[in-house]
Amino acid sequence: MLEPRIQQHFFESADLSYQAAEAMARPIADAAQAIVDCVTAGGRLWVHGRGVAQAPAQLLGAALSGRFERERPGLAAMVLALDPLLLSQAHGPEDDAPAVTQLRVLGQAGDVLIAFALRPDDALLAAVVGAAHEREMSALVIAGRDPGRNAARAAGQPFMAETDIWIAVPHERPARICELQLLTLHALCDAVDLQLLGDADL
């Protein structure tokens, strides 16, 4: 029967969300504060994700530049490397990827990169974060299970700076990572709106 297997997806997802809530709440709160500090100082938000991780990146970009659940002025948020012409030129190493080029050309000191990835050792993730650092930007990374620390310089990744924030999804299965990334971006948007607009009954 298919029903028990289908139900298992729901059970696993619910269990993961419950178990991750406490561990992920602090870095999500820190990320929301970094976003608010950036936009209130006149900075811009650059959102990135590739493959299946591009879906939450586009959703977050739309929620920030448009609205999440409450009306507010749009925030200066741009999703990287969505232009088909830019993507058609992507044939070299990660350092030459369109998202990396865009950050090097358009990023400014005080801007913030928000990057989604399934794996913490993704080569393009490292290249994009490195490009952000070149422009004196900080990075917020939302990625799968980290193999090491879960703090600034989390996952033991050398490309993370002390001022960066790593939001580690405590799972290795891509489907579960994607589900929790979606929940994370919802919580992140709500936290940003709470700081910008104050509390409100939904």
Q: Which helix (H) or strand (E) holds 142?
A: strand 138-143
In this structure, are strands 138-143 and 165-168 parallel, antiparallel, or unpaired? parallel
Which two three-digit tokens encode residue 198? 């104050």
Strand partners, 165: 140
Q: Is 118 helix (H, G, I), strand (E, B) or coil?
A: coil
Q: Which residues, at least 6 apart from 109, have a Cβ–Cβ distance to it below 8 Å?
A: 135, 136, 137
Which two three-digit tokens encode residue 175? 């489907």
Contact by Cβ (8 Å): 46, 132? yes
Q: Hey, where are the domains in the chain?
A: 29-197
**Phi, psi of 198, deg, nearest 5:** 85, 175
What are the start-end ranges of the H helices in 41-169?
54-65, 84-88, 98-106, 123-134
C-beta neighbour count of 184 within 10 angstroms? 21
- The mean per-residue pLDDT over the stretch 107-130 comes to 93
pLDDT of residue 155: 45
**Phi, psi of 167, deg, nearest 5:** -105, 100
Q: Which residues, at least 6 apart from 15, have a Cβ–Cβ distance to it below 8 Å?
A: none
Q: Is 84 helix (H, G, I), strand (E, B) or coil?
A: helix
176-9-150 Cα angle (round to 5): 25
Q: List pLDDT tens digits, range 157-197.
A: 678 888 999 999 989 889 999 999 999 999 999 999 999 99
Q: List pLDDT tens digits, range 60-114.
A: 999 999 999 999 999 999 999 865 544 445 445 555 589 999 999 999 999 999 9
CATH of domain 29-197: 3.40.50.10490
pLDDT of residue 87: 47
Residue type at position 100:
V
The dihedral formed by the CA atoms of 106, 112, 116 and 121, expressed in degrees to the nearest 10: 90
